[in-house]
Every structure is written in C-alpha cells, then in structure tokens.
Amino acid sequence: MDWRDEGILIGVRRHGESAAVIEVFTAGHGRHAGVVRGGAGRRMAPVLQPGARLQLEWTARLEEHLGHFRVEPLGGSTAAVMADRAALAALGSVAALLGAALPERDAHPGLYAATADLVGALGTAADWPARYAAWELALLADLGFGLDLAACAVTGAADDLAWVSPRSGRAVSRGAGAPWAERLLPLPAFLRGGWEAPPPAAEVAAALALTGHFLEARLAPGLRREALPPARARAVEAIRRAVG
C-alpha cells in the first residue's frame, strides 16, 4: 500500500534510537500516523516542526499497518510562530484538537484547507486571532456540531443577529433575545460577515467564549477523557493577553 499527499505536522514522538512517529493532518487522508526513519536525528529536526507543511509518501505492506513516511518540506517557515508565544499556543491548540477529535484516516478536505490557511497566518497576519476563532467554528461544523447563524431562531429574520442560544446553537436577533439576554451567548458580527480589519479584542474574546461553550458541550463528551485538551485553554488565555 502506498499514497502521496501533502499535510501539516501535528505531532511527533521518538521511536526507538533514531526514528520518529509523526502524526499529520493530510488533505486527502485525514489524520494519519507513520514512522520516519532518522526522524529523531539532527538533519530532520528542522523539518519535523509543529505546523510544518510536508510532502508525504506513505508506504506499508497492509493498509492497517502503521507504515512509514518519506517527508519533504513544502516551504514556508514556522519561525514567526515560534517567536510569538500566543501564536505558538494557538498552534498547539490546533494540533491537540485535531489529534483528539478527528477520526484516524478520515478525510476532511474543507477543514484541511481552513487549517492550512490558519497555520500560514499564525504569527504573521494581524488578524490571526480572529482566524483562530473562525477555525474553531469550522472545526465544529466539520464534525457535525455546526451552529446555525443564518437567521433568528425566533423570528426567522436574518437581520441584527446578536445572540446564540447555548442549547440549540441557533442565532437570535437583538430584539427577540432581549428578554433572555443574560441566558444567551453574544454573537460577534465577524463570525457571520467576515472582516476587513482585525476585529476588536472584545469581539475575539466573545467568539472564543462562544466556540468554547460548544466545544465543551458538543465535542468534549465524545473525546477519550470527555474533556477538551488543556492546550485549548492555554491558547485562549494567550490570545486574550495578546489582543489586549
């Protein structure tokens, strides 16, 4: 068995004296692990960095085997991420959430594209914190836990949507939700309409609170420890400090 694909490195651990087992999120083969011969050596250390984009060739005698990877860097640098503590924390959260939530070897092409876009922006684009929050929303949607932010759950109107029901995950307009405002979650406008300039810090924080609620309520119960990876909480705290 063999295939070629591109992917993003999300995990690496030593295997024996000189090899490494890497876990990658690939465009066509989802989350996939394999052994890299010499992966624990000095020559491969600059290549096998978290967030690195890799050209991959996987081979195994049988499909169910762990198999071996041959890897080549696809360009781009993780230096900007390594120099930015908040961006590095966000990358750690991306890797941890993908590793915990995605079924092994199940392709998620839309989520892969969103992940590649985010990883390329971390530490370099001024709006990367907003992109991270939008990525968590995309993760929920891709795993079948998407929110319905198209129209008000009460009136059906698509205007002036200001809240999200913490139970149904549906948007609620400002007027319809006013009597229950304390029970609803704020809906930052940029999560629906995008943005031209980096959203304000308060909106980014509200977006992370929104996605965090549904990650806890909908995703976490199905994870191995029935809890989100600790890296997610560290990333949120780092992002909040970074955006002020």
Bridge partners for 33 per DSSP: 23
> Distance (Å, rounded) from C-alpha 88 to C-alpha 25?
18
* pLDDT tens for each residue of 71-81: 999 976 677 78
**Domains of the chain, start order:** 2-73 (2.40.50.140), 79-149+187-243 (1.20.1440)
Hey, what are 44's tokens?
């491969």
- Find the mean pLDDT for residues 166-191: 97
pLDDT (0 to 100) of residue 71? 96
The count of other CB atoms within 10 Å of the CB of residue 77 is: 14
Interval 227-241: pLDDT, tens: 999 999 999 999 999
Query: Could you report the per-residue pLDDT of 135-156, keeping only the tens digit for each?
Result: 999 999 999 999 999 999 999 9
The token pair at 148 is 């319905």
Burial readout 196-216 (b: 16 or more C-beta within 10 A, e: otherwise): eebbeeebbbbbbebbbebbe
Determine contact, residues 98/115, Cβ cutoff 8 Å.
yes
Structural element, H or E, at residue 137: helix 128-142
pLDDT, tens digit, for every residue of 110-134? 999 999 999 999 999 999 999 999 9
Q: Report residue 126: phi and psi, to 5°.
A: -65, -25
23: which strand partners? 11, 33
3-state secondary structure of 150: coil
**17-51 tens-digit pLDDT:** 899 999 999 999 999 999 999 999 989 988 999 99
Report the predicted TM-score, pTM, of the whole model to 2 decimal places: 0.94
Sheet of 171-173: strands edge to edge? 171-173, 161-164, 185-186
Phi, psi for 118 (deg, rounded to 5): -65, -50
